[in-house]
Structure 1
Amino acid sequence: MVVDQGVHLRLAEPDDYGRIVGVVDDWWGRPIRSILPRLYLDHFHRTSLVVEDGDGLAGFLVGLLSHSMPDTAYIHAVGIAPHLRGNGLARRLYQQFFDLVAAEHRTKVKAITSPQNYGSIAFHTAMGFTVIGPVADYDGPTVDRIVFQLQLSPATG
């Protein structure tokens, strides 16, 4: 899809799962592998993205089209190799996802994070997402979440 500055951005494939879960805990700095079961790449690889560079996996975005909300897409997990952060790679992944879902006539993109994930909150705010929350008990008792929503404009897609 996109090739420049030594990186290649492409649609994910189910076989990318092993590489992603092999680094995700290290990249996030805590155990999060359990929130990313294989089913995401088995069933949503056509709306998920992988970035590779000369060293291998450089980043990924796992996203899906909501079947319950036909105007909505959801970003479930994103990771960028720590040594590549701050160079716009996550922004490129998000923009490519926006283009993919706009082509499917989706006008909203949603995502969530924990209230303690200040980096994620700042990133999503900078990307133009509306921030809602923290929403108490979003993921069960005492598990609050920040909810992000972005309204895609015709120019986005």
Structure 2
Amino acid sequence: MIETLRHPVEDDHARVMAVMDEWWGGLGGESGHLFRTSLLPRLYFQHFTDTSYLLDLPGGKLGAFLIGFLSQSEPGVGYIHFVGVAPAVRRTGVGAALYRRFFLDSAARGVRKVHSITGTGNQQSVAFHTRLGFTLEPGDDEVDGLPVHRNYDGPGRDAFKFARHLP
């Protein structure tokens, strides 16, 4: 199977939007759909393409994507904003490979710390980030013994916040 890893282009926005419900299994119903799609407006596919990645599978299918950027406010900091992996290629190392690519490319640009978040209901994401060397940052409360940031992205949008130092 020949895969192609590349930077996304503006036309990829529609491709990513088209897989959101399938890849997340309809999580949260209509409100979950609206929340996920609101996190990825077209501007990410216009202005953050050189720090983001998209994996094309044979036959033109989308295999995975990572949307990330370098902080303009905090030099030396990168942020992984949104990542998706097609159900058919999960648990193959694709997600970790996307993160490692972001780490390498960001470090080459002077980044020494990468941040990311995940929702409190996503224990698989917590485990994934921990395996990749992220640590949970202190929060203002706890969920299942883990530090959480209440209302991080607005009322009721609690999040675990991660940081990983790069060599």
| TM, length-normalised to structure 2 | 0.85
Q: How far apart, CA to CA, are the structure 2 residues paired with 1:83 and 1:77? A: 19
Structure 1 residue 10 displacement after superposition: 1.2
1:17 corresponds to which residue?
13
Identical residues among aligned pairs (%): 42
Task: State how far apart, in whole Å, the 1-side matches of 2:81 and 2:21 are.
Answer: 15
Q: Which residue of 2 aligns with 1:36?
A: 40
Give distance in 1, aligned partners of 2:21 and 2:114: 25
* Higher gyration radius (CA): 2
Structure 1 match to 2:164: 150
CA distance in 1, matches of 2:7, 2:104: 12
Deviations 1:47-95 (A, max 9, x none): 1100011132100000011101111010111011101100000011011
Structure with more strand by fraction: 1
Unaligned runs of 5+ in 2: 28-32, 138-146
How far residue 142 of structure 1 moved from its aligned partner, in angstroms, is 3.1
- The correspondence for 1:139, drawn from 136, 153, 156, is 153
Aligned residues: 149
Deviates more, 1:13-22 or 1:64-73: 13-22
What is the root-mean-square deviation of aligned Cα atoms in Å?
1.2
Q: Given that residues 7 and 53 in structure 1 are in contact (C-alpha distance below 8 angstroms), is that contact kept between their aligned partners in structure 2?
A: yes
CA distance in 2, matches of 1:66, 1:26: 31
Paired position in structure 2 for 1:88: 93
Distance 1:25 1:34 in 2: 13
TM-score by length of 1: 0.90
